[in-house]
Structure 1
């Protein structure tokens, strides 16, 4: 397959799904991991997509919402490190909320594996997180909001917002599609509304998002940075992002990640 043909296939996959993994492209295109990474780098240089660790995301679309599975393996090492750091904020006997997302799902898995954190009440609008925590057994009470299902397996809309209006939790762990100096964004209007309701129900808002999310802008704004108490992210976060967070009064928790090899995405 010629380079142009590969590039066209990669662009089509990113446009259709919003995100794509290097491993999936290797299998689909029948070329080496190195070739796919080089193709992604060339397309990123043209501005048609954006490299992230493990794959690529759409650089232009602000209203497209990638499916949960297409995002799951992107920046996986960073997400796992972020989830481990966030777990330190979970205390037995407390009530926490988890928004939908791949990083919050990893946090749900970490919570489920820790018997010493029980009893615990978890409020969530994430179907995968609710299932993970329910299967963990005795000691975790799971409160699922209800609502309409999105491609990212979130429950959103008026039913979810109404359910959250009468709830109060100690801390919310909030994922984000995009972050910049103006705050958090998502492609889904109803998910933005539901996430704002989650934030109103929480005494403390902790955002869990890997550094590749900085500079991505979705269609709908969730919260300004000033309403975020803590951002837990990886240490590849850009200096200008760190400055914006300090200016907003948001506490920054950086987690170290493995060194990336030259040319890695």
Structure 2
């Protein structure tokens, strides 16, 4: 197996990616964006590196994206542009490695899930071919959190206050991504994919954490995908909190088994 860092051309300069090539012809490919509230995270965090290595061990080619983090002078659409550039490059790399176009997916965790979903919306708006399928792990997709289900609210109530992702916490996260509060017309649709028109969105696996203040956003997105006619597989990993792919262990292992089944079987599951 080979792991190597590359620089991908993008509109704001080169984008860092880390490529995880399995032994032999890959069974599938995933372009993968880590989380971190848009303003933190890197290619070495478990949510990026450990996830990629586990998939690589099971024959999946992974292109992990080191997009520019939001901060002073770096706001939407810069991270989104980086993910789009990495997707276009990663898809061509996967095809050249022998992966079928129907087995090249785009995905992300938490804020990376937002960036992945937003990239899909931008591809659709531009008339480009979207990914064959999408994987979103506990994504944040709304700048104003939807109302949680009773079960989700009960799970979050047991968390310490600083781990609950309140509406104020979410607003601050998106203000950091957008460079300030959304204007009177709201945030651009690709920055808040949960509010967008989802017509044409590809088949999607939505993985959530049980005790997660952002869970309602993912649940509402999955519901709206169904209404838009998109095949959806939604699973809540029991006994987990937000960001559980950053904590390798039994629940990480369980989630990655689900992800592998999705990546390899999505064409048949969604036909």
TM above 0.5: no
Highest Rg: 1 or 2? 1
Q: TM-score, normalised by structure 1?
A: 0.35
TM-score of the superposed pair, with normalisation by structure 2? 0.34
Which structure has the higher relative contact order (CA within 8 Å, separation 6+)? 2
